[in-house]
Amino acid sequence: MIRLLLLLLFTHAFLFSFGQGWNPVGSRAVSLANTSVCLDDVWAYHHNPGATASIRTISIGAYYETRFLTKELQTQALAVAIPLKVGVISAGGQFFGYQQYRNTRAGLGYSMKFTDFLQVGIQGNIQALRLGGNYGSTISGTVEAGILAKISEKWSVGVSVMNIGRQHVNPTTDRFATVMRGGFQYRPSKKVSIFAEVEKQVITKISFKGAVEYQPVQALYIRFGAQSAPMEFALGFGYRVSGFSIDLGSKYHQTLGWSPNFGLNYQFKEHEKK
């Protein structure tokens, strides 16, 4: 029974990580069931390159997740965004697995505002896969792009495409999945945000996602969401004070159980313009 469970876990991890080359990261995003194509914080680097153009000060973040409470299925991630005179440059990386199986994705991105409401970004990544023993390692490159349109104070629409060229996992004929995402954010009030999103990979079923973020007081955020294909639920909390934000959350798979996560972010103060 234990061997069967381990086989199930690693099969799920293999398909999820090796097939995609990308894991959803950032505690806020994961707590919203990965309904994140319209989020414009530093973790937009991993969700929608175009959304990072909203960042106005240097921002950094770190993330950790233990998928299904199994140490061999750990994910660590980093993200940083630096505003320039024109546009925003960003960088990040994510690391999945353990000594015998390690999947790494890291790269650089650039985004800018084309109009008062339209933001566009592009990003290049190095994808590395290392297997233990004598199986060796492989490195490939991928490109992704994204758009965020802030139609009004209440409505935003986002679209992103990962692995535009459908790059191969060298030297095999397998491909990193091309992930296409589109969704919207609606803010009926200053305290509530509603998210909806559709995700499609070339070889998988469409995934539908929905989430809500509620801010009962100035520094506290409550988040919950759900997604299909696979069916998972998510819940999380965030606390922000003096530029720091601490986020806690977890996703729940009906068969494999809980995947707790933790995030720590810092946003530098914005200099007053003279």
pLDDT at 15: 43
Other CB atoms within 10 Å distance of the CB of residue 136: 9
Average pLDDT in the chain: 88
| Residue 272 or residue 72, greater confidence | 72
pLDDT average, residue stretch 110-114: 96
Give the residue among 235, 197, 188 at the shortest CA–CA distance from 28. 235
Side chain identity, residue 78: L
For the chain, the domains span 24-267
Q: How many residues does the chain have?
A: 274
pLDDT average, residue stretch 83-108: 93
pLDDT at 163: 87
d(CA 176, CA 116): 34
15-47, pLDDT tens digit by residue?
444 445 578 899 999 999 999 999 999 999 999
pLDDT average, residue stretch 77-84: 97
DSSP string over the chain:
-HHHHHHHHHHHHIIIIITTS-----HHHHHTTT--TT--SGGGGGT-GGGGGG--S-EEEEEEEEGGG-GGGEEEEEEEEEE-SSSEEEEEEEEEEETTEEEEEEEEEEEEESSSSEEEEEEEEEEEEEESTT--EEEEEEEEEEEEE--SSSEEEEEEEESTT--B-TTSS-BPPPEEEEEEEEEEETTEEEEEEEEEETTS--EEEEEEEEEEETTEEEEEEEETTTTEEEEEEEEEETTEEEEEEEEEETTTEEEEEEEEEEEPPPPPP-
Give the residue among 45, 78, 88, 31 at the shortest CA–CA distance from 264. 78
pLDDT at 176: 73
**Pair 266, 59: CB distance under 8 Å:** yes
Correct CATH for 24-267 of 2.40.160.60, 2.40.10.120, 1.10.20.10, 3.40.50.300: 2.40.160.60
129-187, pLDDT tens digit by residue?
888 777 778 888 899 999 999 999 999 999 999 988 777 776 666 777 789 999 999 99
State if pTM tops 0.85: yes
